[in-house]
Amino acid sequence: MLQETIGQERQIQYQNLLNLVGDQRQDTDEDKPLLKASQMRSIINSHRMMQAYREGSRVAYVSEQFPSEIAFAFDMIPWNLESMAIMLAQSVDVDRVFKLTQEHQLSRDICSFLRGPYGMMMENCYPTPDFVLTNTQPCEGLSKVGLISGKGYKAPVLALHAPNSIDEDSLSYLVKQMEHMMSRMEEDLGIEVGPDSLKSVVEYSNQAREYYNKTVQLLRSNSLPDVSRELQEIFGMNYFGVKENARICKVLYEEAMQLAGKETSKRKRVLWIGQVPEESHEILQHMREVVDIVYWAPLWDANMMMLDEKDPLKSIAERAILYHWDAERTKVETSQICEDHEIDGFLIANVWGCRNVMGISQVLRDIANSKKLKHLTISIDLVDRNNYAFNQVKNRVDAFLELLQ
């Protein structure tokens, strides 16, 4: 599509987005001082959102754990379908969005992280993408949403299929797919992205990762709940590959260093497993009064992986496979997280419609039982509030918190 036309479309889409802003506003911890890293991230997030609606920007819809380095090597703004769903759920009239998906006969049994973007696209308030880049993580539904969005916007859909096993065949299969993806992008855009572009992106990715990992180390022996939350946000934003993200990670590490050791009262630590609500969500507010919440996802091995600067695609491939919630690997990894972070209990958040968290919950409960940790599994919907009420889970959360004390 002509850039000019895309630009006009995006202006309309931006207006549509503003029109969709709902009346209800979620409560926020207004008085709570934010970490500097969080403030930076929030500014960068807003900036990239604005940029994505501009004429001339290159936008790629991506799935949650898509290797963003590829998008950045092409100077694209990755529009993360799943994270955007939760971000926008805080400010737009989601009921209207979900009504629209129902009118189109998209089943309500599908996870709302997937129905959300689908509805937003129907409302025509996401920016027209230049590409849709998907992979099979974290679920096949997300690749389907990517695919359908590409068809809707007539944008090329380039997909990666990440196998489950880590061996030479699987790695080289993924590397070939990425090479093919990149050459298709070059062809379509009529540009050549030399190895230097990927190299510098990978360097930024590693710089960020280095600070990220050091921050995770600090989390182990210090009570740093806000830092844990910020790591979750950084993971969700998946902006590895740009300078700004490296700066956020560095600042976060410096702040974590300053905060480390200051909090002396040792509170119980609960590992929050599964999808994470926005920070002001009532469950989190409620739990934070009593325990420290440590988020599971940012601590995965895949998130600690440094990329091999000499052979980046191969290490990106390995990371992609590691992102699968393979039961056996998850077991080993989560057990290690429990030990490293001195976890006292698990909260498993089963998002309505997420077969992956549901399918792996038994493994997680087994780990908790074998380590004699308390655990609670709750059903929750973080985007579609019609599917969830705090009252329904509050009593169980309270009982769990009591057990922990």
> Which residue ranges make up the site for another protein (CB under 8 A)?
104-107, 109-110, 114, 134, 136, 139-141, 143-145, 147-148, 151, 157, 159, 161, 163-165, 169-170, 173, 176-177, 180, 326-328, 350, 352-353, 355-356, 358-363
Question: Is residue 67 a contact point for ligand SF4 (CB under 6 A)?
Answer: no
Minimum CB separation of residue 65 from ligand SF4 in Å reads 10
**Nearest CB to ligand SF4, comparing residues 13 and 80:** 80
Residue 363's binding partner among ligand SF4, another protein, none (Cβ under 5 to 8 angstroms by kind) is another protein
Residue 292: what are its φ and ψ, rounded to 5°? -90, 135
Residue 192's binding partner among ligand SF4, another protein, none (Cβ under 5 to 8 angstroms by kind) is none
Q: Which of 67, 69, 48, 45 is nearest to 59 (CA)?
A: 48
Minimum CB separation of residue 148 from another protein in Å reads 6
Residue 98's binding partner among ligand SF4, another protein, none (Cβ under 5 to 8 angstroms by kind) is none
Minimum CB separation of residue 364 from ligand SF4 in Å reads 14
CA dist., res. 253 & res. 49, Å (int): 25
Q: Which of 47, 45, 57, 79 is nearest to 6 (CA)?
A: 57
Tokens 């998946």 -> residue: 238
Q: What is the DSSP string of 59-92?
A: EEEE-TT--HHHHHHTT-EEEEHHHHHHHHHTTB
The DSSP symbol for 291 reads S
**Nearest CB to ligand SF4, comparing residues 132 and 142:** 142
Structure tokens at 343: 């976890």
- Which among 23-31, 92-100, 221-229, 347-355 is the span making contact with ligand SF4, rule CB under 6 A? 347-355
Minimum CB separation of residue 208 from ligand SF4 in Å reads 23
For ligand SF4, the binding residues in 262-281 under the rule CB under 6 A are 275
The answer to whether 308 and 315 have CB atoms below 8 angstroms apart is yes
Cα dihedral 27, 32, 38, 43 in deg (nearest 10): 60
Question: Is residue 138 a contact point for ligand SF4 (CB under 6 A)?
Answer: yes
**Nearest CB to another protein, comparing residues 203 and 326:** 326
H or E element at residue 293: strand 292-295
| One residue of 113, 239, 240, 300 binding ligand SF4 per CB under 6 A | 113
**Distances 31 to 27, 34, 87, 170 between C-alpha atoms, Å:** 11, 9, 20, 49
Within 154-293, residue ranges assigned H as helices are 168-189, 195-221, 225-237, 243-259, 282-288
**Nearest CB to ligand SF4, comparing residues 82 and 279:** 82
CA dist., res. 288 & res. 223, Å (int): 12
SS3 category, 401: helix
Other CB atoms within 10 A of residue 28 CB = 12
The answer to whether 69 and 198 have CB atoms below 8 angstroms apart is yes
Question: Is residue 142 a contact point for ligand SF4 (CB under 6 A)?
Answer: yes
Residue 275's binding partner among another protein, ligand SF4, none (Cβ under 5 to 8 angstroms by kind) is ligand SF4
Question: Is residue 82 a contact point for ligand SF4 (CB under 6 A)?
Answer: yes
Minimum CB separation of residue 379 from ligand SF4 in Å reads 12
SS3 category, 133: strand
**Nearest CB to ligand SF4, comparing residues 223 and 232:** 232
Minimum CB separation of residue 70 from another protein in Å reads 16
The pattern of x and - marking residues 285 through 324 that bind ligand SF4 according to CB under 6 A reads ----------------------------------------
The pattern of x and - marking residues 351 through 380 that bind ligand SF4 according to CB under 6 A reads x-xx-x------------------------
The answer to whether 207 and 246 have CB atoms below 8 angstroms apart is yes
What does the binding site for ligand SF4 look like in residue numbers (CB under 6 A)? 82, 111, 113-114, 138-139, 141-142, 275, 351, 353-354, 356
